[in-house]
Amino acid sequence: MLPFRLVYHEEYDLRLGDHVFPSKKYKWLRDRLIRTRFAVPEDFVAPRPASVEDLLLAHDTEWVVRLKSGTLTYREILRLEIPYSRQMAQAFCLAAGGTILAAQLALDAGVGFNVGGGFHHAFPDHGEGFCAVNDIAVAIRRLQRDGAIRRAMVVDCDVHHGNGTAAIFTGDPSVFTLSIHQFNNYPSEKPPSSLDIHLADGVGDSEYIHRLENGYHAALAMFKPELVLYAAGADPYCEDQLGGLSLTLDGLRERDRLVIWEALHRKIPVAIVLTGGYAQSVEDTITIHANTAAVAKEVLEKLGPA
């Protein structure tokens, strides 16, 4: 058995068909983790979908109603860049429930891992960039509402700026948002995070780790969160179709180790979500996500729970 639980639901698949976003990756990752004997079926726990009440902690009523009822406008669907279906909407609600559960589990075990989630481009009143529900924001707001935490930090290491998350938490002193991303990439408009680390095209392992380490250390020292929510994007990878950075598999592992180690070393629990990944070979995306789980296990076993 793993020292932490893996949150997964068979309905995480957004059912996108032939799309650059391989939403079947969640099932493929689960299968890989079991096939390689990293995990056993008992290590996985299924979430409940986030309730409407949960969704409204981060989203406007009108958006939630239109999403769940299937009454999005043509323009809203274009902005999402994925086809609408009731199964898609349910998958986003399940992902948000999964991130809530991963965060709750992290408070108990030191690490919680959602085999999904990280939909950081969703705003209070709309979705965009493959993201309809901002599970990161929903989970933080839910734990705050429940009194489980007061202060949270989002460490967003997707290749794309976490614009929806930044917008939701703008002006909120209880949440620190850190986004490290390729500057000349989607989205064109980037609402300011608490700390934005803008990277030039083609940045590789060394500069990425150096810039992240400096910013992350300073943020942890200043803010002192009670939970780190880590968006472990696979798309800074050098062979990603939607990215323009040059991280290697080893560099991405080092990134994971840095984020998880520095939090657990300070006795701060870490909830992990997957975010993007669009490698030319989907097997590379699955490998990157599997490596994140392996690094979490390695660090937790070395340091113990927060």
Which residue type occupies 267?
Answer: K
Lookup result for tokens 């080893």: 250
pLDDT tens, position by position, 231-261: 999 999 999 999 999 999 999 999 999 999 9
* Domain residue extents for the chain: 6-11+37-303
DSSP reduced 3-state for 244: coil
* Contact assessment for residue 27 and residue 286, using Cβ atoms and an 8 Å cutoff: no
271 bridge partner residues: 112, 229
pLDDT at 18: 85
pTM: 0.97
pLDDT tens, position by position, 256-304: 999 999 999 999 999 999 999 999 999 999 999 999 999 999 999 998 7
Quote the CA–CA distance of 299 and 303 in Å, as a whole number. Answer: 6
pLDDT at 131: 98
pLDDT tens, position by position, 38-93: 999 999 999 999 999 999 999 999 999 999 999 999 999 999 999 999 999 999 99
Mean pLDDT estimate for the chain: 97
The tokens for 54 are: 């949960």
pLDDT at 305: 78
Closest Cα to residue 185, out of 236, 224, 222? 236
Lookup result for tokens 């279906």: 85
* Contact assessment for residue 161 and residue 245, using Cβ atoms and an 8 Å cutoff: no
Determine the straight-line distance between the first and last CA of the chain, rounded to whole angstroms.
Answer: 19
Rg (CA), the chain: 17
How far is CA 37 from its chain centroid? 24
174 falls in which pLDDT band (50, 70, 90)? very high
Lookup result for tokens 């390729």: 182
pLDDT tens, position by position, 96-120: 999 999 999 999 999 999 999 999 9
153 bridge partner residues: 176, 228
pLDDT at 15: 85
pLDDT at 245: 98
Lookup result for tokens 């942890």: 220
1 falls in which pLDDT band (50, 70, 90)? confident
Which of 3.40.50.300, 3.40.800.20, 2.102.10.10, 3.40.50.1820 is the CATH number of 6-11+37-303?
Answer: 3.40.800.20
pLDDT tens, position by position, 115-169: 999 999 999 999 999 999 999 999 999 999 999 999 999 999 999 999 999 999 9
